[in-house]
Structure 1
């Protein structure tokens, strides 16, 4: 059973039969963890021929309202309101993942070290995204979060000074990681230098305020933070972070950017660690609809995992923490997803 605010948001866009179909599909997705039309049609509880069930699901997934704007945005807005305090700054992560012929760019918000999708777009090309692609996926999110404080995080693919200038025009806080080959002018009147030529001390962050980044003209000045973690024992030397930002507090910059890496385990949850997104070969619109279903299921599993941990019964589900291990073995998503499966198997 979906939470009440999920139901009210979905029923405003779907008929009763469509809502029941969506609810069944979300439950099947949690049980089977395979986001493919073939698998869902095989298990869909409808006493008709398999081919008829498959065509019914294809027609359902082709509905015009099966989009993140229509179905997920109202839920996400209420979800953020309930689970994230009003005064807390949201970390919004922009990243891209690619497999086979698919090139997916996604904007997510961070919740308990996992990135929950907000909006996404499919790129009709291979390789990196353009400024226009990035703006098209960010604009709906900016409209959705216009009453919330947030900071946009991006890795080296999203380092362009044009994107930074666009965020400044939109009054958006941002932290983008720069490649080490980027040239900057650390002091007025000085020459341009590569970032990796600037003096660096492991473990000690350095900050440059209002400097010229790249030799392109007409983009104003921004702040630069450099930081390299110390290497301990026999660990490899960590990479240096070169962070372009419009924040001035160096500690806040490092604190927020550390959350950017939450998108990587999130992508793993969508693929081999959870719903096996790579097995899906639907067309563009149905793929988008399946992602809406997956996002709803992912958010429900994350909240369920939080409840299980709050009740201190997560050790019944799996090996949560092990000796000499600094972090939990399994995330809230994993605990929520497999906890419900374990409860269901007790009926056997």
Structure 2
């Protein structure tokens, strides 16, 4: 059985497409891993088919034009891959944006904090330039909670963009803890209704020092716990939360893991900026392809790290991310051939299926049955 056939068998149980569309998606997934370029012209060159290059390119175009995606099914697949159903986790929310010509491409992404990165679960393509609004954030979280519940959520982390009375009140009503960075000039309501900038509570901090305020302060209509730290740049890092976190600054540091995700989707991985699509629904489909490719590469990196651990540098971080470690292995294997036929099927069994769903014959490694 070829690798593309194995991918089709696995993905069929989640995506519900027919053979032709599954073959196309699996072919794009393999081409993307080979080339590390999210560009249809380039993917068509690496797409395995006996058709001519122009015909392959047109087939990929039609796929993103016509095929209907079930994003809830894709989210379930991703949550299952990392066994998040049985874990508790922090969620992080952020945007990545760039321009293609005069068109602003702007994607709001909700991810699960995981081993130095964020695993993308849901995303919303914003048909505008600039920040998301409170309604868009609530809609994204509502969709997540409707599918996976709120019981596994330790909290949600966000940058200075993610403030607002309605948004914060909704999170509190849902029983979801949040830890959001604030702008230094954000006004708080002091005694007798007087307002002053929130930075006034932390202005006397020295560089590298932090402070956690025990009493809540009123920001807009919300009562929040505040903490702050003066960074090496002299800027203040001020956090607001609807509950008391024991180590808010350390926890908020996990928010940066979604920046690592965006770097993997862009310059350090799949070069998303090379995509030449500008239509809302097609970009959302491209993100689904990228999310599955990212998860496959990351899971492969986790396995490789167990087999041959990454070297640690002097600053205490590994020489590569788990994502890049796995992606380089997959790319090398696809371009130069797997050393053993068993390796090909091990990747399918370990990284695109939950435990216990696939039966493999050890003597003649191939997928025999897909358990229900």
Give the shorter-chain TM-score range: 0.7 to 0.9
After superposition, what is the alpha-carbon deviation per residue over 1:4-58, rounded to whole angstroms, capped at 9, x for unaligned? 9953543x51112322222221111111111122112222222223222222222
What's the counterpart of residue 225 of structure 1? Answer: 227
What's the counterpart of residue 332 of structure 1? Answer: 322
Relative to structure 1, the CA distance from residue 9 to residue 290 in structure 2 (aligned partners, 3 Å threshold; closer, same or farther) is same
- Bigger Cα displacement from structure 2, 288-297 vs 55-64: 55-64
Cα distance in 1 for partners of 2:161, 2:52 equals 47
Pairwise CA distance, 1:118: 1.2
Pairwise CA distance, 1:121: 1.3
- Counterparts of residues 124-203 of structure 1 (less than 5 Å): 124-146=127-149, 147-185=151-189, 189=192, 191-199=194-202, 200-202=204-206, 203=209
What's the counterpart of residue 68 of structure 1? Answer: 71
What's the counterpart of residue 310 of structure 1? Answer: 306
Matched, 1:204 2:210: yes
Normalising by structure 2, we get a TM-score of 0.79
> Where does structure 2 lack aligned partners over 5 or more consecutive residues?
339-372
SS of the aligned residue for 1:221 comes to strand
Matched, 1:321 2:318: no
- Bigger Cα displacement from structure 2, 59-68 vs 304-313: 59-68
Cα distance in 2 for partners of 1:344, 1:14 equals 25
Matched, 1:256 2:251: yes
What's the counterpart of residue 213 of structure 1? Answer: 219
What's the counterpart of residue 25 of structure 1? Answer: 28
After superposition, what is the alpha-carbon deviation per residue over 1:210-248, rounded to whole angstroms, capped at 9, x for unaligned? 32113xxxx34222222335xxxxxx3453221111121
- Bigger Cα displacement from structure 2, 53-62 vs 261-270: 53-62
After superposition, what is the alpha-carbon deviation per residue over 1:105-142, rounded to whole angstroms, capped at 9, x for unaligned? 11111110111211111112112222222223332122
- Bigger Cα displacement from structure 2, 254-263 vs 45-54: 45-54
- Count of residue pairs brought into register by the alignment: 325
Relative to structure 1, the CA distance from residue 210 to residue 18 in structure 2 (aligned partners, 3 Å threshold; closer, same or farther) is same
Normalising by structure 1, we get a TM-score of 0.85
Matched, 1:292 2:283: no
Cα distance in 2 for partners of 1:341, 1:145 equals 33
Cα distance in 1 for partners of 2:49, 2:291 equals 24
Pairwise CA distance, 1:177: 0.8
